[in-house]
Amino acid sequence: MIQQNLIKVGMADLNIATEGAVLKTTGLGSCVGLTLFDPIRKVAGMAHVMLPSSDIARETKMNLAKYADTAIPELLDRMVAAGAYIERMKAKMAGGAQMFAMSGHSDSLRIGPRNVESCIEMLHKFKIPILAQDTGGSFGRTIEFDSTNGLLSIRSVQFGIKEI
């Protein structure tokens, strides 16, 4: 998906797109690329979620985009400000891989799966349905999200390009 109007979303970042712009983020390993779309207003949003919960935040000025429990409400606020309606939003997500082999069963090392679980929990809280997801595994992904049609394109070295 090569588009002229490409909006890059960095790690622990979020943004919205309208008028045919495409949101793109790279380097999704254990991070989750969460996308939201209002199909009537054609407002798209993407968050590159690094960690499941802001309860562990240690920074003096919290980066809301870094955590699932703060990124999703912030993304919703920005999308609503752009004219979207939460009641019409649909979600898709990718990432949440388990990038390193674990010898023990420490929950703190399950960052990818915990990120996915936390995103799902937040979406349920806002009653936003998840239309599709490409999560888990042990490989990285790059995603692009089209604000004209809500198409999520997922690229990985192992599996090429997949569209959901």
Ordered by where they begin, the domains of the chain are: 6-163 (3.30.1330.200)
One-letter amino acid of 92: K
Per-residue pLDDT at 105 exceeds 80: no
3-class DSSP state of 132: strand
19-69 pLDDT, tens per residue? Answer: 999 999 999 999 999 999 999 999 999 999 999 999 887 777 889 999 999
116-162 pLDDT, tens per residue? Answer: 999 999 999 999 999 999 999 999 999 999 999 999 999 998 889 99
Determine which helix (DSSP H) or strand (DSSP E) holds 115, and give its type and residue range. Answer: helix 111-125
Q: Report the mean per-residue pLDDT for the chain.
A: 92
Q: Give burial (CB, 10 Å; 0-12/13-18/19+) of 109.
A: middle
Q: Give burial (CB, 10 Å; 0-12/13-18/19+) of 59.
A: exposed
More confident of the two residues 123 and 99: 123
Question: Does the annotation mark 119 as catalytic?
Answer: no
Per-residue pLDDT at 15 exceeds 80: yes
Q: What's the pLDDT at 1?
A: 47
Q: What's the pLDDT at 108?
A: 57
Non-local (6+) Cβ contacts of 44 within 8 A are 16, 17, 18, 21, 23, 35, 36, 37, 145, 146, 147, 150
Q: What's the pLDDT at 64?
A: 95
- CA distance linking residue 155 with residue 107, whole number of Å: 28
Measured from the Cβ of residue 32, the count of other Cβ atoms closer than 10 Å reads: 31
**Catalytic choice (16, 28, 31, 119):** 31
Non-local (6+) Cβ contacts of 9 within 8 A are 15, 23, 24, 25, 33, 46, 47, 48
Per-residue pLDDT at 17 exceeds 70: yes
Per-residue pLDDT at 103 exceeds 60: no
